[in-house]
Amino acid sequence: MAEDDDEIILSELSDDELTAQMMDDLYDGLKEEIEEATHILLERGWTPYDILTKALVAGMTIVGADFRDGILFVPEVLLAANAMKGGMAILKPLLVETGAPRMGKMVIGTVKGDIHDIGKNLVAMMMEGAGFEIVDLGINNPVEKYLETAAAEGADIIGMSALLTTTMPYMKVVIDTMKEQGIRDDYIVLVGGAPLNEEFGRAIGADAYCRDAAVAVETAKDFIARKHNQMTA
């Protein structure tokens, strides 16, 4: 996307130019540049939350859209995510200090029998960027792990991911166990992964199937808003 980057001196750019440049650099997976620009914006008095949302999340949303449209592929998305992680590592401790809107808490993990976590990690990162607190269970999670952690953490959302057609049915095991225990409606259940689709999400009783990380964020926000509305009604 960006050309002749080596001639650009980030610190000499205006705020608008710099955030635009950060989106380019995210797109190109340039981690060091993202880290440098994050520091520059902090020095200029930007709040960590503004840097996160207006530069990093905004940039990553473009990456996500181009991935969905077949313009970018997994390697490019991973490089972009890695660059965003660099910026987030700087901002995360500051966000805790300065405060940022808290959207809700999500327990997320790849289901039992499955070790694929690229998509799950992207969702976790974008959710975190949108203000959700994330408890990442990692890979190969049995039903107990999801439910015990969700209860212990007081989570709002349980997120499940699977890449394999052989492991995606395990999501139904988790949801059925929730029903048996009478706790299904205590949580918003979101599912995702390459072989899934909306029909599958409905069939297993999830609240929603999320096609990609951006959709996961919007869906989670929507469900959380509805939950709050119900509580205040």
Rule CB under 8 A: is residue 69 a binding residue for another protein? no
How far apart are the C-alpha atoms of 137 and 157, rounded to whole Å?
Answer: 13
3-state secondary structure of 138: coil
- Least distance from another protein to the Cβ atom of residue 63, Å: 14
Whole-number minimum distance, CB 166 to another protein, in Å? 5
Q: Which of 51, 83, 168, 204 binds another protein (CB under 8 A)?
A: 168
User: Which one of 55, 137, 190, 196 is in contact with another protein (CB under 8 A)?
Assistant: 196
Tokens of 94: 């500051």
Say if residues 145 and 136 touch (Cβ distance below 8 Å): no
Query: Rounded to 5 degrees, what angle do the CA atoms 78, 66, 19 make?
Result: 75
Judged by CB, which is closer to another protein: 139, or 151?
139
Footprint (CB under 8 A) of another protein, residues 82-101: 82
Among 1, 197, 198, 225, binds another protein (CB under 8 A): 197
Q: Does 173 bind another protein (CB under 8 A)?
A: no
Cα end-to-end span (Å), the chain:
48
Looking at the Cβ atoms of 94 and 164, the one nearer to another protein is 164
Angstrom distance (rounded) from CA 124 to CA 132: 9
What string of H, E and C letters represents the secondary structure of 146-191?
Answer: HHHHHHHHCCCEEEEECCCCCCCCHHHHHHHHHHHCCCHHHCEEEE
Chain positions 113 to 152 lying near another protein, rule: CB under 8 A, are 113-118, 139-140
Surface-to-core class of residue 98, CB atoms within 10 Å of its CB (0-12 exposed, 13-18 middle, 19+ buried): exposed
Q: Using CB under 8 A, which of 2, 8, 78, 135 touches another protein?
A: 78
Nearest distance in Å: CB 139, another protein: 6
Residues that bind another protein (CB under 8 A): 29, 73-76, 78-79, 82, 113-118, 139-140, 164-166, 168, 194-197, 200
